[in-house]
Structure 1
Amino acid sequence: MSQLTIHNYDELAAFEGKELGVSDYHTITQEQIQKFAEATLDFQWIHLDAERAKKESPFGATIAHGYLTVSLLPYLWAQIVEIKNLKMQVNYEIESLRFNQAVLVNSEVRLKAKLASLKNLRGVAKAQIEVTLEIKDQKKPAYNGMITFLYHFNG
């Protein structure tokens, strides 16, 4: 994986409508799922009870919380693009996000990103990013959608 480095609005604008790249794979472990459950107070058995999930779940194993996979966006995004020369970055919007397939415990996921659009809002860059969370060795992604970041560049 080779990370892009962006220093200003014009450099970012050069990628409008283009693929930005793909992150490394990240393995979602049962420990990570457990910690997410504790942080969010979401203790549904399909995420935490391996024996019950093996017997009763249509997936045959525990699965990651959908919002756990969404929460990986900043981590995986930072592997694709490094935005420098910023005063501030704001997570602005998730315009649409569709969960397509459950992520089973110990699955490897990676983020694919495309800069769908970029607008200059009086000096603030509004970047809409088309994202897909791929699951290794699966045809269907975990999710796809459109997220928006606001970048406040220095000078």
Structure 2
Amino acid sequence: MSKTIIRSFEELQQYEGKEIGVSEYHTVTQEQINLFADATLDHQWIHLDAERAQTESPFKSTIAHGYLTVSLLPYLWGQIIHMENLKMQVNYEIESLRFNQAVAVNSALRLRVKLLSAKDLRGVTKARLEVTMEIENSKKPAFTGVITFLYHFNQ
């Protein structure tokens, strides 16, 4: 898979209103779910107890934390785009986010991204992205939303 290479605000702005790309699939394992539970102190049984989930959960298996799926955004975004000539990237805003479908353990996820807008704020690029986290073999995505990154390009 080839990444889109961006070196400046002007290059990014050319993608306004267009889909920039789609990442590779990433499989969410129970080990990853367990580590996320430890990192966030969210040890709810629907994420960790496979036996109980099998009998009591409507999903019939453990599921990933919704915020685990959101935390994959930078990793999967990095598979789609490569920012060169960059000092720093800052997570700025989640304007809207809707969880549409639970992500069962061992599901494969990929990210689809469209650039809604790119604005130059006195030398800082503000990029608003429409994001869809797709679940392999599912019509409904894990989530959809609009997120904003700030890019500080070298002059």
TM range (shorter): over 0.9
- Name the counterpart of 2:147: 147
Residue 49, structure 1, aligned to residue 45, structure 2: no
- Name the counterpart of 1:76: 76
RMSD: 0.5
Counting matched residue pairs gives 155
Per-residue CA deviation, residues 44-88 of structure 1 (Å, 9 max, x unaligned), is 000000000000000000000000000000000000001110111
1:2 deviates by 2.0
- Name the counterpart of 2:112: 112
Alpha-carbon distance between aligned partners in 1 of 2:43 and 2:110, rounded to the nearest angstrom: 25
Q: Which moved more, 1:133-142 or 1:2-11?
A: 2-11
Aligned-residue sequence identity (percent) comes to 71
Question: After TM superposition, where is structure 1 displaced by more than 4 Å over at least 4 residues in a row?
Answer: none
Residue 76 of structure 1 aligns to which amino acid in structure 2? L
Alpha-carbon distance between aligned partners in 2 of 1:2 and 1:84, rounded to the nearest angstrom: 15
Alpha-carbon distance between aligned partners in 2 of 1:57 and 1:2, rounded to the nearest angstrom: 40
SS in structure 2 opposite 1:54?
helix
How do residues 6-155 of structure 1 correspond to structure 2 at under 5 angstroms? 6-155=6-155
SS in structure 2 opposite 1:63?
coil
- Name the counterpart of 1:5: 5
Residue 20 of structure 1 aligns to which amino acid in structure 2? I
1:41 deviates by 0.4
Alpha-carbon distance between aligned partners in 2 of 1:103 and 1:2, rounded to the nearest angstrom: 27
Residue 152 of structure 1 aligns to which amino acid in structure 2? H
Alpha-carbon distance between aligned partners in 1 of 2:61 and 2:45, rounded to the nearest angstrom: 11
